[in-house]
């Protein structure tokens, strides 16, 4: 049985996690075990990682190996069906609130690209320009423009155009998509949506009626040009765990309107440079590494702003070693350093005090620079025509090949 | 001449297209196009006016809102049309910064450019000038103030007339010539600095300057013998060019546009393969050293082969995906503009 989220419960709990706010108890760390418990999703354990490796005949993605994607709902059903020969499709998205993307934004897309390649399945990507227009009070044109700009960075993550459909809500809502929105909306009372998302009497009706927009891409009939006749197709949604409320609502509604519940695979939050307690915010460019940062910027940010677990002095460091629990460079390397052996070595040496903070930071700067460089080169190859093609309502005949 | 053109049906003859290409669209051709597109507008003729004040004397009290239109140029010979409500304050220094051109990057464009690029007379800058092929690289900045007005006033390619229409009508027109209308707050003055990128950077044209294209236009006008075969091919080429999207319009053979030339080849198979081979041989050379020979001896071949596969696999797949996406895009672009066979 799925636990439902109640506003009162939220107020009593110490940490707050929902699509618009993420904060830990007393400025501490997010307690993910508590979160899984409260939300009612499942831990993604090693057996899943092994099974994915077996089914896809390739090494599992670094995010799986390191527990970055750590929770799920019904992922085992997806894998069972896959083993039987029943494919699925992927659904992920972005709220285009700003032009500059940082590494944290890229994480779900990097993982989704891996899933697309490994399982050879199609993908729909939703750009919720309407949501940002409403929540961030952007003009319609500005949110549409940001959606297109963000689409370019998303495309640069390496999605296969013959298996990927990108759409913006302002462009695509209507037709079969809208019909599903109404079906979903009819199944969710005002009180329920207030309970899940915390709306008040002062919130405008646009916000209140938005959740179905993010729910219906989970249903294949929302995309008749792609999945016509495939009403049985399952959906897997890679996302950060703060998006869970939307999909709890969706999973609640799905069986009532005759659809499969979408499956979810959820990730940790990407920490700010200043530490887990720090907030990554668009107004503080030093809180994150942006895809437009130069090698110099990255080196500067890592050296000057990354919160470390190293000791105050070299002598103390050699004696006590580093506190890996709070060390940001180690956490970032956990996300982005591919080589398991090298990461283990660094953790061991740094934790024992034999390796200094400066060295760890240097390695991190190298890894991040390589990542950002590769992204920038790919981004440079994305043209307006390519965005148009990705976003065109067109059939994808080879989407399962 | 104008009368004859007015009598033309919506299909314009190839010969006329060639003339338009060299001479620019006329006011009547524009009006005919607006009617074709079923855009609601009204028109009013008056003596030639060169300023907004003069225009106001004739049409200022007819219920519409006057526009002021600036034709600007930056240091890299890129051109911009800024079209705003007459009352909107436009600060060129601020605009220049918001575009990412620095503080003094924008100037009024010289008179010759008006004729060569926008193909309109002096005092007649108007967003409708983008109907001309010569203006395809000109960036268009529209005042968001237009959107809330019932009726905006522009010159229709000549200054002895004003036309009245709303923003939706303007949008319909712009879309018909392959432009994506985008409205901005021209009076905004957001900070631009190391950490706040210029908010209008997307409006800077990323193509090579139009001026280099102009000399090519001369030859076609010389062979206006009206030979039907030649004319037909020419018109097809002109029609195809006219519907290219704005801003990043590009030649299929060229590398994808951006101010940073990518090191990744576009859908050019030769360049793609060279890039792959370069990376593989660089890695190969780095793997073979005195030490590695000593270490692996006869097995060095296997060892190096495995390492290359391991290291390059993801990298090369990414390159291949970019190549595939680019080739697909070229095909898609061509496919959406393909002219079905005539039966």
The CATH number of the domain holding residue B24 is 3.90.960.10
- Contact across the interface for A161 and B333, Cβ inside 8 Å: no
- Better-predicted residue by pLDDT, A298 or B123: A298
Q: Which of A123-132, A147-156, A186-195, B6-15 has the lowest mean pLDDT?
A: B6-15
Report chain B residues whose CB lies below 8 A from the CB of A117. 317
DSSP class per residue in A145-187: HHHHHHHHHHHTTT--GGGEEEEEHHHH-SHHHHHHHHHHHHT
In a domain, B28, yes or no: yes
Considering only the beta carbons, identify the residue of A141, A381, A389 that sits closest to B256: A381
pLDDT for A81: 96
pLDDT for B19: 53
Report chain A residues whose CB lies below 8 A from the CB of B168. none
pLDDT for A282: 65
pLDDT for A52: 97
What percent of chain A stands above pLDDT 70? 94
Please check whether residue A345 touches B, CB under 8 A: no
Report chain B residues whose CB lies below 8 A from the CB of A374. 315, 318
pLDDT bracket for residue A217 (50, 70, 90): very high
Q: Residue holding tokens 């006033």?
A: B153
In a domain, B312, yes or no: no
pLDDT for B192: 77
How buried is A190 (Cβ within 10 angstroms: 0-12 exposed, 13-18 middle, 19+ buried)? exposed
Nearest of A156, A157, A147, A151 to residue A115 by alpha carbon: A157
In a domain, B297, yes or no: no
In a domain, B331, yes or no: no
Residue in A380, A391, A396 to test binding to B, most B beta-carbons within 10 Å? A380
Give yes or no for a contact between A272 and A331, defined as CB atoms under 8 angstroms apart: no
Judged against a pLDDT cut of 60, whether residue A223 lies above it is answered with yes
Buried-state track A6-18, b at ≥16 Cβ within 10 A, e below 16 = eeeebeeeebbbb
Please check whether residue A139 touches B, CB under 8 A: yes
Q: Residue holding tokens 């320009």?
A: A129
- Contact across the interface for A385 and B144, Cβ inside 8 Å: no
Give yes or no for a contact between A96 and A131, defined as CB atoms under 8 angstroms apart: no
- Contact across the interface for B202 and A162, Cβ inside 8 Å: no
Chains A, B: CB contacts within 8 A come to 83
Per residue in A46-87, pLDDT tens?
999 999 999 999 999 999 999 999 999 999 999 999 999 999
Nearest of A59, A61, A54 to residue A79 by alpha carbon: A54
Task: Print the domain residue range for B134.
Answer: 17-260
- CA-nearest residue of chain B to A378? B322
Nearest of A202, A306, A321, A195 to residue A252 by alpha carbon: A195
Considering only the beta carbons, identify the residue of B144, B250, B329 that sits closest to A139: B144
Q: How far does CA A393 lie from the centroid of its chain?
A: 24
| Chain B interface residues (partner A, CB cutoff 8 A) | 144, 182-184, 195, 197, 202, 245, 247-248, 250, 256-258, 260-264, 266, 315, 317-318, 321-322, 324-326, 328-330, 332-333, 336
- CA-nearest residue of chain B to A377? B262
Which of the 8 DSSP states describes residue B223? Answer: T
Give yes or no for a contact between A244 and A266, defined as CB atoms under 8 angstroms apart: yes
Per the structure, the count of domains in chain B is 1
Question: What is the spatial distance between Cα A165 and Cα B147, in angstroms, rounded to a whole number?
Answer: 31
Which residues, 6+ apart, have CB-to-CB distance to A179 below 8 Å?
none
- Contact across the interface for B332 and A376, Cβ inside 8 Å: no
Report chain B residues whose CB lies below 8 A from the CB of A384. 245, 247-248
Between helix B269-287 and helix B300-336 the angle, nearest 10°, is 160
Sign (positive/negative) of CA torsion B184, B187, B190, B194?
positive
Considering only the beta carbons, identify the residue of B144, B195, B333 that sits closest to A285: B195
pLDDT bracket for residue A30 (50, 70, 90): confident
Number of helices (H), then strands (E), in chain A: 21, 9
- Contact across the interface for B318 and A158, Cβ inside 8 Å: yes
pLDDT for B220: 35
Nearest of B189, B192, B195, B204 to residue B246 by alpha carbon: B204
Per residue in A258-297, pLDDT tens?
999 999 999 998 888 988 776 666 667 888 999 999 999 9
Which residues, 6+ apart, have CB-to-CB distance to B318 below 8 Å?
A158, A374, A378
pLDDT for B33: 87
Give yes or no for a contact between B198 and B102, defined as CB atoms under 8 angstroms apart: no
Give yes or no for a contact between B134 and B116, defined as CB atoms under 8 angstroms apart: yes
pLDDT for B20: 53
Please check whether residue A22 touches B, CB under 8 A: no
pLDDT for B246: 35
pLDDT for B266: 56
Question: What is the spatial distance between Cα A352 and Cα A330, in angstroms, rounded to a whole number?
Answer: 14
Report chain A residues whose CB lies below 8 A from the CB of B332. 385, 388-389, 392, 394
Please check whether residue A182 touches B, CB under 8 A: no
Considering only the beta carbons, identify the residue of A100, A149, A381 that sits closest to B262: A381
Which of the 8 DSSP states describes residue B267? Answer: S
In a domain, B114, yes or no: yes
In a domain, B283, yes or no: no
Nearest of A346, A375, A342 to residue A62 by alpha carbon: A342
pLDDT for B252: 35
- Contact across the interface for B328 and A141, Cβ inside 8 Å: no
pLDDT for A339: 92
Calculate the CA dihedral of residues A216, A218, A222, A226 and round it to 10 degrees.
Answer: 160
pLDDT bracket for residue A190 (50, 70, 90): very high
In a domain, B41, yes or no: yes
Cα of A94 to nearest chain B Cα, Å: 20
pLDDT for B4: 46
In a domain, B144, yes or no: yes
Give yes or no for a contact between B106 and B92, defined as CB atoms under 8 angstroms apart: yes
Digits of tens for pLDDT over chain B (343 positions)?
A: 444 444 445 444 555 555 555 567 888 888 888 888 888 898 888 888 888 888 888 888 888 899 999 999 888 888 999 999 988 888 888 888 888 888 788 888 888 888 888 888 888 899 999 988 888 888 899 998 888 888 899 999 888 899 999 888 898 888 888 788 888 888 888 887 766 778 887 788 865 444 433 333 333 333 333 333 333 333 333 333 333 333 333 333 333 333 343 333 458 888 889 989 998 998 888 888 888 888 888 888 888 888 888 888 888 998 999 999 999 999 999 898 888 888 7
Give yes or no for a contact between A51 and A277, defined as CB atoms under 8 angstroms apart: no
- CA-nearest residue of chain B to A394? B332
pLDDT bracket for residue A210 (50, 70, 90): very high
pLDDT for B244: 35
Report chain A residues whose CB lies below 8 A from the CB of B247. 384
pLDDT bracket for residue A139 (50, 70, 90): very high
Q: Whole-prediction pTM value?
A: 0.65
- Compute the C-alpha angle A5/A9/A14, nearest 5°: 110
Question: What is the spatial distance between Cα A115 and Cα A125, in angstroms, rounded to a whole number?
Answer: 14
Give yes or no for a contact between B91 and B180, defined as CB atoms under 8 angstroms apart: no
B318 in helix, strand or coil? helix
- Contact across the interface for B325 and A161, Cβ inside 8 Å: yes
Report chain A residues whose CB lies below 8 A from the CB of B252. none
Cα of B322 to nearest chain A Cα, Å: 7
Residue in A385, A388, A393, A396 to test binding to B, most B beta-carbons within 10 Å? A385
- Contact across the interface for B261 and A380, Cβ inside 8 Å: yes
Question: What is the spatial distance between Cα A374 and Cα A387, in angstroms, rounded to a whole number?
Answer: 19
């Amino acid at each position: 049985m799925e636990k439902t989220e109640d506003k009162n419960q939220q107020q009593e709990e110490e940490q707050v996690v929902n699509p618009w706010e993420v904060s830990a108890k007393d400025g501490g760390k997010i307690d993910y075990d508590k979160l899984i418990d409260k939300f009612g999703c499942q831990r993604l354990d090693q057996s899943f990682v092994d099974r994915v490796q077996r089914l896809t005949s390739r090494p599992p993605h670094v995010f799986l190996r390191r527990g970055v994607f750590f929770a799920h709902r019904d992922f085992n059903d997806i894998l069972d069906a896959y083993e039987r020969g029943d494919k699925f499709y992927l659904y992920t998205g972005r709220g285009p609130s700003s032009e500059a993307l940082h590494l944290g934004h890229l994480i779900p897309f990097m993982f989704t690209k891996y899933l697309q390649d490994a399982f050879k399945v199609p993908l729909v990507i939703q750009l919720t320009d309407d949501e940002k227009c409403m929540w961030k009070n952007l003009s319609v044109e500005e949110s549409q423009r940001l959606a297109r700009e963000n689409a370019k960075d998303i495309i640069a993550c390496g999605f296969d155009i013959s298996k990927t459909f990108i759409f913006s809500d302002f462009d695509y809502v209507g037709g079969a998509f809208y019909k599903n929105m109404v079906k979903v909306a009819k199944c969710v009372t005002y009180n329920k949506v207030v309970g899940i998302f915390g709306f008040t009497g002062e919130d405008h009706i646009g916000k209140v009626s938005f959740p179905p927009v993010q729910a219906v891409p989970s249903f294949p009939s929302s995309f008749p040009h792609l999945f016509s006749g495939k009403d049985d197709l399952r959906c897997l949604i890679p996302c950060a765990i703060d998006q869970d409320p939307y999909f709890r609502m969706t999973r609640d509604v799905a069986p009532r309107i005759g659809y499969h519940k979408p499956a979810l695979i959820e990730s940790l939050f990407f920490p700010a440079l200043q530490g887990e307690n720090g907030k990554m915010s668009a107004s503080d460019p030093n809180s994150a590494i942006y895809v437009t940062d130069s090698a110099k910027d990255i080196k500067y940010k890592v050296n000057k702003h990354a919160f470390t677990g190293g000791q105050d002095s070299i002598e103390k460091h050699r004696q006590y070693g580093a506190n890996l629990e709070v060390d940001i460079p180690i956490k970032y390397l956990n996300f982005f350093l591919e080589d398991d052996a090298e990461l283990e070595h660094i953790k061991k040496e740094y934790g024992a005090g034999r390796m200094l903070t400066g060295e760890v930071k240097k390695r991190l700067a190298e890894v991040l620079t390589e990542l950002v460089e590769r992204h920038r080169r790919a981004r440079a190859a994305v043209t307006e025509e390519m965005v148009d093609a990705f976003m065109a309502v067109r059939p994808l005949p080879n989407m399962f090949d | 001449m104008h009368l004859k053109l007015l009598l033309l049906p919506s299909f314009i003859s190839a010969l006329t297209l060639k003339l338009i290409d060299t001479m620019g669209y006329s006011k009547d051709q524009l009006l005919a196009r607006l009617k074709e597109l079923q855009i609601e507008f009204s028109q009013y003729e008056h003596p030639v006016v060169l300023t907004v004040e003069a225009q106001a004397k004739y049409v200022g009290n007819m219920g519409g809102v006057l526009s002021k239109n600036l034709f600007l140029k930056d240091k890299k010979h890129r051109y911009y049309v800024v079209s705003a409500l007459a009352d909107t304050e436009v600060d060129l220094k601020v605009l220049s910064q918001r575009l990412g051109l620095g503080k003094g990057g924008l100037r009024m464009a010289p008179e010759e450019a008006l004729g060569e690029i926008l193909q309109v007379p002096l005092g007649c800058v108007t967003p409708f000038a983008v109907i001309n092929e010569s203006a395809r690289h000109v960036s268009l900045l529209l005042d968001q103030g237009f959107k809330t007005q019932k009726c905006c006033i522009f010159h229709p390619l000549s200054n002895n007339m004003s036309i009245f229409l709303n923003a939706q009508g303007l949008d319909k027109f712009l879309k018909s010539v392959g432009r994506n209308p985008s409205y901005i707050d021209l009076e905004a003055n957001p900070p631009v600095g190391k950490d706040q990128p210029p908010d209008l950077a997307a409006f800077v044209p990323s193509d090579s300057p139009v001026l280099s294209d102009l000399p090519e236009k001369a030859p076609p006008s010389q062979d206006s013998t009206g030979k039907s075969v030649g004319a037909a091919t020419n018109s097809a080429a002109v029609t195809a060019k006219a519907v290219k999207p704005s801003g990043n319009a590009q030649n299929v053979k060229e590398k994808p546009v951006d101010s940073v030339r990518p090191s990744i080849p576009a859908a050019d198979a030769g360049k793609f393969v060279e890039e792959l081979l370069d990376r593989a041989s660089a890695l190969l050379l780095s793997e073979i050293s005195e030490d590695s020979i000593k270490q692996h001896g006869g097995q060095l071949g296997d060892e190096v082969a495995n390492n290359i596969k391991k290291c390059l696999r993801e990298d090369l797949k990414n390159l291949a995906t970019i190549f595939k996406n680019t080739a697909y895009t070229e095909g898609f672009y061509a496919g959406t503009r393909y002219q079905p066979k005539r039966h």
